[in-house]
Amino acid sequence: MHTSHVTLGVSGPRVGPIGLGCMGMSQFYGPADRAGSIATVRLALDLGVNLLDTADVYGAVGAAADTNGFGHNETLLGEAVRGRRDRAVIATKFGARPSDDGRVVYDGTPAYVRSACEASLRRLGTDHIDLYYCHRLDPGVPVEETVGAMAELVTEGKVTALGLSNAGPDELRRAARTAPVSALQSEYSLWERGVEDEILPLCRELGITLVPYSPLGRAALTGRVGPGTRLDGDDFRSTLPKFSPGNLPHNLRLVDGLKRFARERGATPGQVALAWLLAQPYAVVPVPGTKRAEFLRENAAAADLTLEAGEVAALGALFAPERVRGGQYGELPVAGR
């Protein structure tokens, strides 16, 4: 993998150009494979993929909740990095938790910020979190209160750098006025471009690194999803508009163009999709998720694929937002406290 590292934000941790999303090791994308997942995390560190992305809620949503539960992914990651902690940059999130009635509740109260951090530290088996995100801002708590409580954790040495996930422009500005924000995690890929108009320019203005999740369009941009792909009820993608029976065949025709481009470059479609993100004129560190070593190797190698300006523009035009069918999410069962 390419050895160049980047600093998250102005003074956050230094990470490789591509990270590893760990959510799928605990929920949403098929059964968990504990041994395989741990081996994949350790391989990531060997390859220089040191930004490891998790959250306390991963494992507590969907069908996996029956067997995995809240904190499952953090516990798994903690085991994987044991003896290797100094090589890992651990990013985790708080604020989203399942309620008794099946919704996801957001809690950004200062007391919860502190208790959630303490619990994550225990599960991860570490004395500090390198990058601590608020998973979703609580609509009932001013962002200044939540971020202020997060900043106290930095002062105490329990957290190194702060981040937000899926925050809007106003929230991001208010957060940055309260404490230094190193990273914003939002969905961004060739086929999901909602951050381009406001969020990306604001991140550059504020000195914040964008950490795209689902940079491979939840595997659609890898070429491994076909028109006949059946998504069962346990697969989160079955709820997403881009994957609906009415939209997916159209969107996959755009992916066919990506496949042709990749063949001409001697790369995989997923590698081209990641290289396109890295070629953007912003500080961007994508965190493609996988639990399989072969896909990790493939993703990591994308850091060595350089696209010319004309290629970047052509790919962007191929997946222009008006050409992609379906929004980012369907209806989500979420609520404030």
Annotated catalytic sites, by residue? Answer: 58
Question: How far is residue 191 from each of residues 110, 228, 296, 328, measured CA to CA in Å?
Answer: 36, 20, 21, 10
**Pick from 236, 219, 237, 336: nearest CA to 288:** 219
